Chain A
Amino acid sequence: MALLEVEGLSVAFGGLAALSGVSLAVSAGTVYAIIGPNGAGKTTLLNAVAGYVRPASGRIRIDGRDTTDLAPHAIARQGLRRTFQNGGVWGEMTVLENILVGVDHDAQSGLLGILFGFGRDRRTERRAVAEARAILARAGLAGIEDKRVRDLSFGQQRVIEISRALVSRPRILLLDEPAVGLSESEREELGARLRALAQEGTAVILVEHVVDLVMAVSDRVLVLNSGQVLAEGTPEEVRGDAAVVEAYLGSA
Chain B
Amino acid sequence: MSRGGAAAVAALLILLVLPPFFVDDYVQFILDLILVYVMVSFGFNIVLGYAGQLAFANAAFFGLGAYTLAICLGRLDWPFPAALFAAAVVGGAAGLLVSLPALRLRAYYLAIITLAFGELLRWTYVHASGLTRGSSGLGVPAISIFGIPVASDRARYWLFLALAGLTLWGSANLLRSRFGRALVAVRGNEAAAAAMGLAPAVVKIGAFAWSGVVVAIGGAMYALLLGRISPESFGLSQLLLHFSIVMIGGLGSLVGSVLGAVILTAAPELLRDIPGLEEIIFSLLLIGVLLFMPKGVAGLLGRLALFRERLYLT
Contacts and interface: CB of A to CB of B under 8 A. Distances in A.
Contacts of A109: 177
A162 to B, nearest CB: 12
Q: Which of the four size classes fits the interface of chain A?
A: 35 or more
A92 interface: yes
What interface size band does chain B fall in? 20 to 34
A72 B195 contact: yes
B155 interface: no
Contact of A52 (B178, B188, B191): B191
Nearest to A105: B197
Contacts of B195: 50, 72, 76, 81-82, 84, 88, 165
A100 B193 CA distance: 12
A169 to B, nearest CB: 13
A221 interface: no
Interface stretch (B15-23, B27-35, B179-187, B271-279): B179-187
A93 B197 contact: no
Nearest to B188: A90
A116 B172 CA distance: 10
B189 A101 contact: no
Given A73-B198, A77-B197, A114-B173, A107 B191 contact: no
A92 B178 CA distance: 16
Contact of B196 (A74, A94, A105): A105
B268 interface: no
Given A71-B199, A101-B198, A107 B178 contact: yes
A52 B193 CA distance: 12
Contact of B177 (A51, A71, A121): A121
Query: What 6 pairs between A and B have smallest CB-CB spacing?
Result: A88-B192, A104-B178, A115-B170, A72-B194, A76-B197, A90-B188
6 contacts: A73-B193, A76-B196, A76-B197, A94-B314, A101-B198, A164-B196
Interface of A: 50-52, 71-74, 76-77, 81-82, 84, 88-94, 97, 100-102, 104-105, 107, 109, 114-117, 121, 125, 128, 164-165, 168
